[in-house]
Amino acid sequence: MIQAFSAFQKKNLSVKRALLSVFDKTGIAELGTFLHEHGVELISTGGTSKVLEDAGLPVTSVDSLTGFPEMMDGRVKTLHPAVHGALLSRPNVEADMASLSELGYAPIELLVVNLYPFSETVAESSGFETCIENIDIGGPAMLRAGAKNIDHVCVLTSSDQYSAFMQEFKEQDATVRYKYRLRMAQHAFQHTSIYDTAVAMYLSKEIKSGFPDVLNLQLPKFAPLRYGENPHQAAAVYGNQGDIIEVLHGKQLSYNNLLDVDAALNLFRDFQHDEPTCAIIKHTLPCGVSTRASLKEAWEAAFATDTISPFGGIVLVNQPLDAETAQAIDTIFTEIIIARAFSEAALELLSQKANRRLVKIKNFSATESRYAYRSIFGGMLCQQPDAVATDTRNFQVVTHKTPTDQQMADMLFAWKVVKRVNSNAIVFGRDQQTLGIGSGQPSRLDSSEFAIAKAAKFGHDLKGAAVASDAFFPFRDGIDASAKAGAGCIIQPGGSIRDQEVIDAANEHGICMIFTGRRHFKH
């Protein structure tokens, strides 16, 4: 019995009747014409039926099939045994065919359905009632029924599939292979799964329920990648990257490129409304950041932070990139340049290097996410993104000495940069320019010493510089090292059991210090 059923599974499927019910009418008349020319009976609903009839095609309406008219402005039209029995029936099961025959129904071998545009309606910021009204009921029910009955039904869910289906149909002498039906069934269940997840996530946001009990990440494949972090690792990228950025020149972004672009966009978030700013990223870490009166000056100051690391790195600017700045950047090899836009002259100049990617930020608001995810053993970590802009309301001056306006500006600049540096993170900055960056060291003192050494290596005087620390100083040694290097002010979260010891150290050195009350760990 099982062997006989398995053999039936692999047979090509002849299509005698097709049900077409689509919201997106693209290409449906052409598909209907193709099916009619191959002797397939067309069954349809409402607006789809009208499109087919206008194309001169004979159509059997669903209500004539069911014997019931559409109800409630089309809310109920396909939820009927004449439809679902026809989609779920198995011609090799005698009882199924007897049930259909008794009621005067017949099998449907091809189902063409796409759904109400729920996600698009939400994206348009439509009201709650409108969004709810665009939750499809009958469509997913039919898709699930047809996709379940893989042996006897082929399901199409997108106009993008019509051309391949027609090619399959012609090549297989008006039949459809099991392998093709299996692939289309998988697409159908994936389609309804994404749809249901979108509805659930929307309702979760509406009721502000916090973190979901079950984490459903339904992301379409954006592109396959040549490999992952290393050539022996296969990889792909999922999501809506094409809505956020556009590669204007150069090869496809690699796995590591995408990580670097993500790091750059996260830093851009905190500087997008500032004066002309340039940031240089290497292996997801900022190695130079500066804000100046012009982009060219910002580039020169950012590059001066560390004149070695930027080679082969990523350059980000928060303004449209002009030709003069592009010419300055072009003096070294950069892997990627990211900007809001590129002038024609800048694009022409920078496109001369084939191995360089030029990336335009199309829609930065699309990068905003309710959650941030990281994969770990056995699952995922989920948290709110650290996307809070600098908020000085909770800042507290804890030393005898208070900061000048210039010192406050320098500390705020360094504070925004340190947020994007891996912990333990220390940033020295002055006059809206990074001077030394220490990241990822086992101790905060190590990071301080590393940042000081980097500054010395590239000839930066740290006298009067602001120091930003992503987390509290657990001991006074970090304060002592910063003061010895010439620092004039320090900004840090505070919260250590030795805070008073740290404050006393700052007072001894005659420098001012601010506690922000907010930590910016980045592991």
Mean pLDDT of the region 195-214: 76
Whether 38 is catalytic is no
Tracing tokens 């120091």 back to the chain, one arrives at: 467
Spot the catalytic one: 16, 187, 283, 401: 283
CA–CA dist 195, 178 (Å, integer): 26
Among 405, 427, 415, 417, which Cα is nearest to 478's? 427
User: Which residues of the chain are in CATH 3.40.50.1380 domains?
Assistant: 11-207
**pLDDT of residue 97 exceeding 60:** yes
DSSP 486: T
Choice among 20-34, 127-141, 390-404, 487-501 with the minimum mean pLDDT: 127-141
Query: Where exactly does CATH 3.40.140.20 map onto the chain?
Result: 240-367, 392-515
Residue 95 has pLDDT above 70, yes or no: yes
- Which among 91-100, 140-149, 463-472 has the top mean pLDDT? 463-472
Q: Check residue 75 and give its pLDDT.
A: 67
Residue 120 pLDDT greater than 70, yes or no: yes
Q: Output the pTM of the full model.
A: 0.78
Question: What CA–CA distance (Å, rounded) separates 61 from 323?
Answer: 62
Give pLDDT, residue 71: 62
Residue 307 tokens read as 């004149």
- For residue 388, give the 3-state DSSP assignment: coil
- Least confident piece of the model among 76-90, 189-203, 320-334, 492-506: 76-90
Average pLDDT, stretch 138-149? 88
Instruction: Pick one of 3.40.190.10, 3.40.140.20, 3.90.870.10, 3.10.450.50 as the CATH number of 392-515.
Output: 3.40.140.20
pLDDT value of residue 5: 45
Other residues' Cβ atoms within 10 Å of the Cβ of residue 266: 19
Q: What is the pLDDT of residue 80?
A: 74
| pLDDT tens digits, 208-217 | 667 777 777 7
First to last CA, the chain: 57
Q: How does residue 3 score in pLDDT terms, banded at 50, 70 and 90?
A: very low
DSSP 226: S
At 91, is the pLDDT very low, low, confident or very high (cuts 50, 70, 90)? confident
Q: What is the CATH number of domain 240-367?
A: 3.40.140.20
Q: For 381-390, which contacts have Cβ atoms below 8 Å and span 24 or more sequence positions?
A: 382/211, 382/215, 386/419, 386/520, 386/522, 387/269, 388/518, 389/270, 390/270, 390/415, 390/416
d(CA 38, CA 56): 15
Strand, coil or helix: what is 7? Answer: helix
11-207 belongs to CATH 1.10.10.10: no
CB 98 within 8 A of CB 106: no
Indicate if the pLDDT at residue 6 is higher than 80. no
Has residue 33 got a pLDDT over 90? yes
Supply the Cα-derived Rg of the chain in whole angstroms. Answer: 31
Burial class (CB in 10 A: 0-12, 13-18, 19+), 280: buried
Q: Active site includes 283?
A: yes
Q: Which of 148, 187, 362, 401 is catalytic?
A: 148
Residue 19 CA to residue 24 CA, distance in Å, equals 15
More confidently predicted of 313 and 388: 313
pLDDT at res. 454: 94
